[in-house]
Amino acid sequence: METSMYSAMRVGIVHFKAFPGIETGAGPIVETLEKICADEFWTAVEVGWMKDYRVRNTARHLLDQSHLSVAYATQPKSLTNKLNLNHFDTGERAKAVQEIKSAVDEARQLGAEVVRLIAGKDPGDAKRDEAKKLLIDSLHQILDYAAEEKDGLAFTLKIFDRGIDKKNLIGPVGDAVDIAKAIRPDYPNFGLLTDLSHFPLLDEKPEESIPLMAEWLDAVHLGNCAFRDKSHPAYGDIQPRFGIPGGETDTPEVVTFFRELRKVGFFDKPVRPVVSAEVRPVLAGEVSEVIMANAKRVIRDAWALSQRPD
């Protein structure tokens, strides 16, 4: 008998990817968020930087009405401002830590239950171990700051590509697990977030990497990428729609991803995990609402097909 996907996960959408242009913390944030809040397909939303406190107040009012689970992603603030939690310059790293602490405050203002964190740039083989130590120290500072409120706010570290686009320290599964092993003993509210669109960019396969990170895996993103042709308009870590010509991910890949997640018990958590689509219009003429509808169809179909025998 088919299990409803809503009994296994909270189905989310990444707001600032679905509606490009608001990653800078400005623009039609409330107007676009209202479209997601009004769509009963989604049971979670991942929001980002909102510079204006009045916009945050209005967004919070919308989110309170919506009954959506809310995650706050630091990617827009971090990437726009080139923040680096593993920067070798003490001043730059301190600035990044302070800005992410500010993002924690914003997350609370928006009623978020979890904050998505990202590492900084990878410095290369020779300095990678040192960079990981700096990242661990920065994460300790941020998590200590968040713990002062004692409200159970959770954190995930998102895994990015290392060699093609973002060139992030974290990174391949082994390095991600190293960070989780260092942080989780002191902070049980810390885990990892992996993104289906990043497996091809990392030259990894879900069936090999997911079991290695399963113990610390708290959330996932569903996305697509294109990297075989540098002239492709979606080349790199852009998260185009599922099934885009020249892309890596469509319904069959999401089916496999769901199956691998089920094997490691990801969908058996006491609290249903958030599984968010991270897709955006890229090609000329593509429309946010249609791209989100594409994602809904792929998620629905992939969940149904994942329950059939292999």
Q: What is the mean pLDDT of residues 16-39?
A: 97
Tens-digit pLDDT profile for residues 62-72:
999 999 999 99
Q: Domain spans of the chain?
A: 11-306
For residues 52-79, average pLDDT: 98
Residue 106 has pLDDT above 80, yes or no: yes
Per-residue pLDDT band for 272 (boundaries 50, 70, 90) equals very high
User: Is it the case that residue 135 has pLDDT exceeding 80?
Assistant: yes
pLDDT bin (cut points 50, 70, 90) of residue 298 is: very high
> What is the reported pLDDT for 171?
95
Could you give the CA distance from residue 210 to residue 200 in angstroms, rounded to a whole number?
14
- pLDDT of residue 277 exceeding 80, the answer is yes
Mean pLDDT over the full length of the chain? 97
The residue among 171 and 2 whose pLDDT is bigger is 171
Fold of 11-306: TIM Barrel (3.20.20)
pLDDT of residue 1: 60
Averaged pLDDT, 258-278: 97
Share above pLDDT 90 across residues of the chain, in percent, rounded to a whole number: 98
pLDDT band at 310 (very low <50, low <70, confident <90, very high): confident
